[in-house]
Amino acid sequence: MKDKKVALVVGAGDAIGGAIAKAYALKGFTVCMARRNAQSLSAYTETLRTEGFDAHGYGVDARNEEQVEQLFADIEANIGVIEVVVFNIGANVPMSILDTTAKKFYKIWEMACFSGFLVGREAARKMIQRNSGTIIFTGATASVRGGASFGAFASAKHGLRALAQSMARELGPKNIHVAHVIIDAAVETQWIKDNHPDYATLSSKDGVVQPADLATNYVMLHEQPRNAWTFELDIRPWVEKW
């Protein structure tokens, strides 16, 4: 195992996950990013390397137990010690309960909850050997509230939050910090730009979460002294109603 401290982001793209990876890279971490389509990670991985950071991309289906286990094994054998793991897979798909098939419900649960279990469990298995580490799960408004037409997504995110709570209670006394971040607002992404009806108005008054600013919270959670750990952090712009 190489002598490097590693931050692993599962569910990394050009918005939240990518920003979290860069935030840790700025702190001197080697960053490993994983998503189902490795090809879509290559450009961002190369960008980070061009900027002087040690970055690696992996193609992994986080719903597949063997692939998740292999991801952790490969990183620890060939890159370094995984000190931070961020689970950031979404699956925010609105649909009426009348149109929600069993297949769709199950797929959303697999992506937003079951894959979080696989990633969280594997992170815990590695970190428990050292009695140290940080595991952070990305949540959403749906983690605490089931909105109309978000039954499948809210069910999955509620489950992920419960998993995080259980892990925090079990692993905290073993010096492993588990945290859950609720993002209660629109985040600056291409999809939001193209589809949010109030994007221009919100953006003009600092009402859309910027990925880079959001990412600083993930670093802060890892850097907290263990006598004052945060489990849950909810984040929203100043104009967001809640």
Indicate the pTM of the whole model.
0.96
What is the structure's pLDDT at 13? 84
- Residue 229 in this model has a pLDDT that exceeds 70: yes
Q: How far apart are CA 191 and CA 55, in angstroms?
A: 25
Domains of the chain, residue spans: 5-235
Percent of the chain with pLDDT over 90: 87
Q: Which residue has the tokens 């950031």?
A: 88
Which of residues 201 and 62 earns the better pLDDT score? 62
What is the structure's pLDDT at 103? 98
Rounded to an integer, the average pLDDT of 83-92 is 95
Secondary-structure class of domain 5-235 per CATH: alpha beta
Q: What is the DSSP string of 181-203?
A: EEE-S-B--HHHHHH-TTHHHHH
- Quick count: other Cβ atoms within 10 Å of Cβ 217? 17
- Residue 125 in this model has a pLDDT that exceeds 90: yes
Residue 191, burial from CB neighbour count under 10 angstroms (0-12, 13-18, 19+): exposed
Residue 234 and residue 182 in contact, taking contact as beta carbons nearer than 8 Å: yes
Which of residues 230 and 38 earns the better pLDDT score? 230
Rounded to an integer, the average pLDDT of 42-64 is 97
- Residue 3 in this model has a pLDDT that exceeds 90: no
